[in-house]
Structure 1
């Protein structure tokens, strides 16, 4: 997020958007950028066909597992395992020829791999930048497993993952972490090193896994003295090669690698995985819509390639269904949202502005009609004790001034108040009693009570919102940022405001949830210790945050 950013629309932008909506996104893309779109679309391995020559893995002379391993989206009977072969990660081809590589994988009950559960092979296709996604099925529910990959004589580090409890299992507890916003140039990913040692069942990444901005040769505030980054990182990501290289840079970080190896991740994006503050097919800057959709297609494809995501999330051109549902027995239902791909354009040119009629326009949406219906239908069918919504941008009202009216962020749910009202009314209609929204984006930690009427402190509390601070974005930060008095005074439902870097853990139980905000003292120097800045509980059937 860049709070001060404003879009600068072309005077012809409304007409172009109308044309795009009229003829449909895929047809629009194909009709206006036919050559580029076609070249992009056909660069896929064909099912059952050897799409490239095969490289003998024994000829790989350098460690190909420089970007680590990961797992994600655990299910009751299956796990998703990921790796990427890149002996030379800061090189466009990763140090491998455009040939297929056979990769062996193993899943075991123990980290010494003496009790193997499953083993097999997968193909690392050059068309997918030699990434590997392995879906291992027919596993016992609610179990911990260890996994690793082999290519030739090289063996990856060992990862730890798990299956979730059976859908109807009566589960007593669950502990998860939430993270967001990790700008490489703003500092070290120290919080990830601590998270790797934390005892959590799963990690939710709420967006801004990478940033599209240029990275200079010394990596910004990381203050490396032992390395110089190639100049190829020193420009904004635009095409597929750019995005792939940027993931290589981020995933080479040892703390991020450790966290991925230690815990399964459930990921969703925000804006910077593609471009700052984009909205659906509308870019931040004045470029033709067809040009932006080609950029979006490249960003989405690189995202899927480099994240532990399953086959249903594989993109088709500039479209990718990232919203999905995860259940943890009868204890919790997680509805993971995508608030970027389908949203209406930000009101009043984006940025921070006074409220006006546009933000209450019922035709405007944060989620798109289909995703909104999916969420509300899922709530009506939910039998879970806790209903948790991992998503991207600030959900609760956040007044930015002590004046009346006060400015609001047009990029957050405050800029889409009619859309937020439909979500809250849907939760009430579905009888959702224990609602928790997980948020990233803003580079600070907030804890909110979600009010039925945010302007009336006495109105019903419908749930809680837990905002995870950034891993590194915003650099070191402060316990009390300069706006602390203003924000806490203007928003009585705001129970915490902390500006340090870190992550948050949540323990869900049958009677209450405990929330711990964990922060580090610095990210511009490595190795900072971690501490618990604040802790809260919210009780089943009695929503609202209370100090623990």
Structure 2
């Protein structure tokens, strides 16, 4: 059989590899010798279960080039999982194929491990060895758990700040991390950033223009994942990954962007973006993309303490009302046919909540559920890209929680580039009586730059929305420390992200007692 022609660079990589192995019509490379270190994008783990987790890497000797310095051929990658960092006696090992169709990414679903304990993993390709990653298996289903401690983070615009928060999060040695999305930003490189506080110079820049093709998205992920602080965060513990909008395009929903692109054309962009997301995230085969759709929502448990419902608030949502204008309202907010989760996901969530035996039920999602009035003056105005822009689905969800007496529901949210803590009522304009649930919104890793302790609009939000208990506009992440008796969220913030010397501190800590959804200072 005649092999496809190889470029000079690919020939350099292929020659001396111990030959080319053929399987049917498919070309594979054995014993590779790379032109440069192939694990430049680091390692990661995700979606922990009681008996295992996903481990991930992607071979890329030249990450920012088209083809990422790899041949158009599959390459074998060995992997090991051990109870110690010396790998003196690996408990699981095997070999996977890094395939060109998937950007030479490797996803291994490791099984057969013990529940509720840390493990270490690494990869080997040819003569090269990856960094070592750490992951903790989930406790056995229904097992009595005294405590869980995990991180919440996301919104990491590469241009607008350094990833000091990721380095600090890595040092926390969390049980796991929930990433609410906006892992990459799709925009073109820019020297300046226009934010609410004025115009600022970005400390670093995206390469190239706005991303549209699969190669574009692969390159953008590579630029982000080459950051050593982000790699440290991934290597420190397993992540539960979801997406928000910037993994594809700002404020997209369903097959609609906000720029008037025909849906059939936008779906081509979605297809490229979803494949690149899968290639670069430590997620299971169940998330393998199917054209311009991808199964993102799923449930995970942490013994008898937590049930995590990881939601997708983009793919099945109807268009934002009122032309998605800021701090506004219109008749479309009360559209009875509007959807946030879509019917199938909504019913799936209700079934999960009804049958959950865990002490705490968690909605790990992207957009704020509190119906925050953001308009100055007597008239109401909402962020229409949040649940507040979808009054009927929002009411349906919260009334279900109230009427079914689903207690200890905590919502974890991102997207806002600010920290918020507050209580959920059926109608925030009438917050009398006990709240239905609690919500903690985590700020960005870097998006919106250095930030400030509190913006003027944040002070106004606190005055106009009595269910809101806290607001802060610095960068950082949240630490959730959970026991059967209490949920505690600690907001960790940095004084700056414009250079790497930012200092981390605890800005505020709030708690919710089991059986009482009120949010109080801790």
* TM-score scaled by length of structure 1: 0.88
Count of equivalent residues: 495
- Structure 1 contact 216–234 (Cα < 8 Å) conserved: no
- Which whole-Å CA distance do the structure 1 matches of 2:427 and 2:192 have between them? 48
Which of 56, 77, 88 aligns to 1:103? It is 77
How do 1:328-367 and structure 2 match up within 5 A? 328-367=302-341
1:119/1:427 Cα in 2 relative to 1: closer, same or farther (>3 Å)? same
Task: Tell me the secondary structure at the aligned position of residue 188 of structure 2.
Answer: coil
How do 1:12-411 and structure 2 match up within 5 A? 52-216=26-190, 223=203, 233-411=207-385
440-449 vs 355-364, which moves further: 355-364
Post-superposition offset of 1:532:
0.3
For residue 458 of structure 1, what is the aligned residue in structure 2? 432
58-67 vs 247-256, which moves further: 58-67
Greater helix percent: which structure? 1
**RMSD, aligned α-carbons:** 1.7
Post-superposition offset of 1:217:
8.5
For residue 18 of structure 2, what is the aligned residue in structure 1? none
1:351/1:211 Cα in 2 relative to 1: closer, same or farther (>3 Å)? same
How do 1:479-518 and structure 2 match up within 5 A? 479-518=453-492
Task: Tell me the secondary structure at the aligned position of residue 519 of structure 2.
Answer: strand
Post-superposition offset of 1:352:
1.5
Moved over 6 A (4+): 217-220
- Is residue 521 from structure 1 mapped to residue 495 from structure 2 by the alignment? yes
Which of 395, 412, 425 aligns to 1:438? It is 412
- Which whole-Å CA distance do the structure 2 matches of 1:75 and 1:51 have between them? 36
- Which whole-Å CA distance do the structure 2 matches of 1:414 and 1:368 have between them? 16
Give deviations 1:90-148, integer Å, cap 9, x for gaps.
11111111111100000000111113110110000000000000011111111110000
Task: Tell me the secondary structure at the aligned position of residue 149 of structure 2.
Answer: strand
For residue 36 of structure 1, what is the aligned residue in structure 2? none
- Which whole-Å CA distance do the structure 1 matches of 2:251 and 2:281 have between them? 21
- Which whole-Å CA distance do the structure 2 matches of 1:218 and 1:410 have between them? 27
- Structure 2 contact 191–201 (Cα < 8 Å) conserved: no
Post-superposition offset of 1:402:
4.2
Unaligned runs of 5+ in 1: 1-47
* TM-score scaled by length of structure 2: 0.92
Give deviations 1:221-250, integer Å, cap 9, x for gaps.
5646xxx97xxx321011111111110011
Task: Tell me the secondary structure at the aligned position of residue 166 of structure 2.
Answer: helix
Unaligned runs of 5+ in 2: 1-21, 194-199
For residue 468 of structure 1, what is the aligned residue in structure 2? 442
1:310/1:223 Cα in 2 relative to 1: closer, same or farther (>3 Å)? same
1:489/1:215 Cα in 2 relative to 1: closer, same or farther (>3 Å)? same
- Which whole-Å CA distance do the structure 2 matches of 1:545 and 1:218 have between them? 38
